[in-house]
Amino acid sequence: MEKIIKIRQLPLKIFLLIVANDLIDTSAQLLMKKGLGICELNSIRSFFDHLLNFGNPLIFLFWAGLIIYLLNFFIWMKVLSKVDLSVALPLASSSYILIPIAAIFFLHELVKPLRWLGLALIVLGIYFISGSKPSKDQGAVHE
C-alpha cells in the first residue's frame, strides 16, 4: 500500500490539488479577461458575435481560458470528494500568500508590515485548518 504523505490531517496531494486549482482558476480568468478585451455590451446578440468573431486572434485566448476554467472543475470535484467543504474552501486562500510571496521574490516588490502580518495570519490559519479532523472518513476506501 502506498504511503500517504500528510500535512497534519491533510493529505499533501489534496493540498497541492487545491493550490493548483486556485492558480489555474486565476490564470484562466486572466486569459478570458485578456481575450475579451474591450467589447461594448449593446445586446446579447452583439456579445455573442464578438465571442464568435474568430477573425480577431485575441478571442482564441478567451476560449482557451474558458476551456481551462471548465476543466479545472474536475480538479475541484476531486478535492471535494476527499475533504470537507469547510476545509477545502479556506485552504484555497493559500494563493493569497503564494502570489505576494512570488511577487516579493521575482518582482522584488516591497511589502508593508501590515501585509506581512496579514500573510502570517493566513499561514497560521492554514496550519490550524489542516489540523482539523475530517467529519467523515471521506474516500478512504479508494486510496
Partner 1 sequence: MSKIILLVLIAEFWIIIGQVCFKKSADRLNARGKGPKTWVLHLLGSISRTPTIWIGAAAMFVGMLFWFAALSSGELSYVYLLGSIQYIIALVAAHFFLNEKINKSKLIGTLLITLGIILTIAS
In whole angstroms, how close is the CB of 128 to partner 1 at the nearest point? 3
In whole angstroms, how close is the CB of 50 to partner 1 at the nearest point? 17
The set of cell numbers assigned to 4 is: 500517504
In whole angstroms, how close is the CB of 13 to partner 1 at the nearest point? 10
User: In which element (H, E) is residue 10 found?
Assistant: strand 10-11
Q: What letter would DSSP give residue 132?
A: S
Query: By C-beta, is 27 or 118 nearer to partner 1?
Result: 118
82 within 8 A of 11, measured Cβ to Cβ: yes
Query: By C-beta, is 60 or 138 nearer to partner 1?
Result: 138
Query: By C-beta, is 64 or 118 nearer to partner 1?
Result: 118
Distance CA 63, CA 130 (A): 35
**Site residues (vs partner 1, CB under 8 A):** 74, 76-78, 80-81, 84-87, 89-90, 93, 96, 100, 112, 114-115, 117-133, 135, 138-139, 141-142
Query: By C-beta, is 108 or 142 nearer to partner 1?
Result: 142
Distance CA 127, CA 123 (A): 6
Phi-psi region of 14 (alpha: psi -120 to 50; beta: other; left: phi over 0): alpha
